[in-house]
Chains A and B, each alone.
Chain A
Amino acid sequence: AQKITQTQPGMFVQEKEAVTLDCTYDTSDQSYGLFWYKQPSSGEMIFLIYQGSYDEQNATEGRYSLNFQKARKSANLVISASQLGDSAMYFCAMIHWGNQFYFGTGTSLTVIP
Chain B
Amino acid sequence: AAGVIQSPRHLIKEKRETATLKCYPIPRHDTVYWYQQGPGQDPQFLISFYEKMQSDKGSIPDRFSAQQFSDYHSELNMSSLELGDSALYFCASSVRDYTNTGELFFGEGSRLTVL
Contact = CB atoms under 8 A, between A and B. Distances in A.
Given A100-B56, A103-B43, 6 more contacts: A35-B102, A37-B106, A50-B102, A98-B31, A99-B55, A99-B56
Interface of B, secondary structure class, is strand
Contact of B104 (A32, A35, A55, A102): A35
B100 A104 contact: no
Interface of B: 31, 33, 35, 42-45, 48, 50, 55-56, 58, 88, 90, 92, 94, 96-102, 104-106, 108-109, 111
Nearest to B43: A103
Contacts, number: 72
Contacts of B35: 101, 103
Interface of A: 31-33, 35, 37, 43-47, 50-55, 91, 95, 97-106
A29 to B, nearest CB: 11
Contacts of B42: 91, 103-106
Most chain B CB neighbours (cut-off 10 Å) among A45, A46, A50, A103 = A45
B56 A97 contact: no
